């Protein structure tokens, strides 16, 4: 089956993955409970070390149950952070991916609108604070 061109590198096909890459592909599908390997991971797999570093970081932070870690934030808050960062950076793949994840968690468009409005608000105030070089009022308590 032909595949649409999708990146600056040829995505590693699941059927061709072997060794550590195949193991990580299996882990991604099981941990995320999906039946395919998303484009992102297939691109990263062109360098197995890269795949390992990024998956290991994401698994630890976004799937704490899979590593037996007690998280401080719930899954919805974690995805909201992901979307806030992605919208601020203007990353197309990431915005699509994290919006899909939030909708799967039951977030409706009106709630998404509140998230986005707040993202927009602070992109505005960030450029103003930087544009005026405003000094902090009070520093946060360190402990």
| Residue list 16-35, contact with a second copy (CB under 8 A) | none
Q: Which is nearer to a second copy, 30 or 127 (CB)?
A: 127
Region of residue 134 (phi > 0: left; psi between -120 and 50: alpha; otherwise: beta): beta
Q: Is 80 exposed, middle or buried (0-12, 13-18, 19+ CB in 10 A)?
A: buried
Q: Is 16 exposed, middle or buried (0-12, 13-18, 19+ CB in 10 A)?
A: exposed
What is the pattern of x (binds a second copy, CB under 8 A) and - over residues 123-142?
xxxxxxxxxxxxxxxxxxxx
Residues 27-86 binding a second copy (CB under 8 A) are 36, 38-40, 43-44, 46-47, 49-50, 52-54, 56-58, 60-62, 69, 71-73, 77-78, 80-86
Given 2, 15, 18, 92, the residue binding a second copy (CB under 8 A): 92
CB of 107 to a second copy, least distance (A): 9
CB of 26 to a second copy, least distance (A): 18
Q: Where are the beta strands (DSSP E) in the chain?
A: none
- The site for a second copy, by CB under 8 A, has a size of 89
Which tokens sit at 28? 């991604």
CB of 42 to a second copy, least distance (A): 9
> Does residue 1 bind a second copy (CB under 8 A)?
no
**Residues near 115 by beta carbon (within 8 Å), at least 6 away in sequence:** 80, 83, 84, 102, 107
């Amino acid at each position: 089956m032909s595949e649409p061109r999708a990146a600056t590198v040829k995505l590693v096909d699941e059927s061709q993955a072997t060794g550590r890459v195949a193991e990580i592909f299996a882990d991604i599908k099981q941990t995320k409970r999906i039946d395919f390997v998303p484009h992102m991971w297939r691109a990263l797999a062109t360098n197995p070390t890269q795949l390992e570093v990024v998956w290991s970081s994401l698994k630890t932070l976004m799937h704490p149950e899979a590593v037996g870690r007690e998280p401080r934030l719930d899954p919805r808050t974690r995805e909201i952070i992901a979307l806030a960062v992605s919208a601020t950076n203007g990353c197309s793949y990431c915005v699509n991916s994290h919006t899909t994840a939030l909708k799967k968690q039951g977030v409706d468009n009106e709630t998404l609108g509140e998230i986005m409005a707040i993202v927009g608000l602070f992109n505005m105030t960030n450029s103003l604070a930087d544009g005026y070089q405003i000094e902090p009022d009070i520093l946060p308590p360190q402990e």
